[in-house]
């Protein structure tokens, strides 16, 4: 079913993003503990805390950049509130969450292309979330009410929102500078995220 999300004719920009990040995705996926027997509730909480430390400042940076195209309805795509809900469901108070460490080294969002590159990574990650959601329910018994809403952050809108994102990419004039900026920002997003997760000691 997930495969149907990507059945849109690849654009030059989408092709460039995929080529630039495919290996980075494979490498990070191997190191994430979602399918590992060592993942228990305590480890999952640490993992979500680390995700929060990256998504919260990065989504704030997207907002302040003023570069998210209105057509991509940024308000609908904010994922930090789901992480806050999950951390509270797992027992954290709001002040505890606010005092969690946040990643200081984020991808630079200084052009429309860079903004799309960062968004490509965060939007694409919602697709894998569908696989992870099922696994975490099976393994830890968690669902959207008990600490795993982030993994199904768009619910039934996952497919349509991804499709809308790809359609937007399709409309962007894929000049070389935009394509280059998007590809670099997408690579940087993966690299910064992996580096951060590593520093938080949540990777395998």
Cα 33 from Cα 48, distance rounded (Å)? 12
Based on CB atoms, which residue is closest to ligand HEM, 18 or 137? 18
Nearest-approach distance from CB 163 to ligand HEM, in angstroms: 10
Both tokens assigned to 44: 């999952």
Tell me how far, at minimum, the Cβ of 25 lies from ligand HEM, in Å.
Answer: 5
Give φ, ψ of 85 to 5 degrees: -60, -45
Closest to ligand HEM by CB, 99 or 134: 134
Cβ-based nearer residue to ligand HEM, 4 or 94: 4
Q: Which residue number places its CB atom closest to ligand HEM?
A: 124
- Rounded Cα gap, residues 168 and 5, in angstroms: 14
- The site for ligand HEM (CB under 6 A) is made up of 2-3, 5-6, 18, 25, 28-29, 32, 34, 120-121, 124-125, 127-128, 131-132, 193
The span from the CA of 107 to the CA of 189, in Å, is: 5
> How many CA atoms lie within 13 Å of 158's alpha carbon, on the beta-carbon side?
23
CB of residue 202 to ligand HEM, shortest distance in Å: 11
Minimal distance in Å, beta carbon 95 to ligand HEM? 27
**Alpha carbons 145 and 123: distance in angstroms, whole number:** 22
């Amino acid at each position: 079913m997930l495969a149907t999300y990507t059945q849109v004719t690849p654009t030059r920009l989408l092709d460039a993003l995929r080529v630039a990040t495919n290996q980075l995705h494979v490498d990070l996926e191997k190191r994430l503990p979602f399918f590992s027997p060592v993942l228990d509730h305590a480890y999952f909480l640490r993992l979500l805390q680390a995700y929060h430390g990256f998504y919260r400042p990065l989504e704030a940076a997207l907002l302040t950049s003023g570069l998210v195209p209105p057509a991509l309805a940024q308000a609908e795509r904010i994922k930090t509130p789901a992480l806050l809900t999950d951390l509270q469901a797992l027992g954290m108070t709001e002040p505890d969450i606010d005092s969690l460490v946040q990643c200081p080294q984020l991808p630079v969002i200084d052009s429309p292309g860079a903004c799309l590159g960062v968004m490509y990574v965060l939007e694409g990650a919602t697709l894998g979330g569908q696989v992870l959601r099922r696994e975490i329910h099976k393994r830890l018994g968690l669902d959207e009410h008990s600490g795993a809403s982030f993994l199904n952050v768009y619910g039934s809108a996952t497919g349509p929102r991804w499709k809308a994102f790809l359609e937007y990419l399709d409309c962007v004039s894929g000049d070389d500078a935009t394509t280059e900026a998007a590809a670099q920002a997408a690579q940087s997003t993966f690299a910064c995220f992996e580096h951060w997760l590593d520093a938080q000691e949540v990777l395998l």
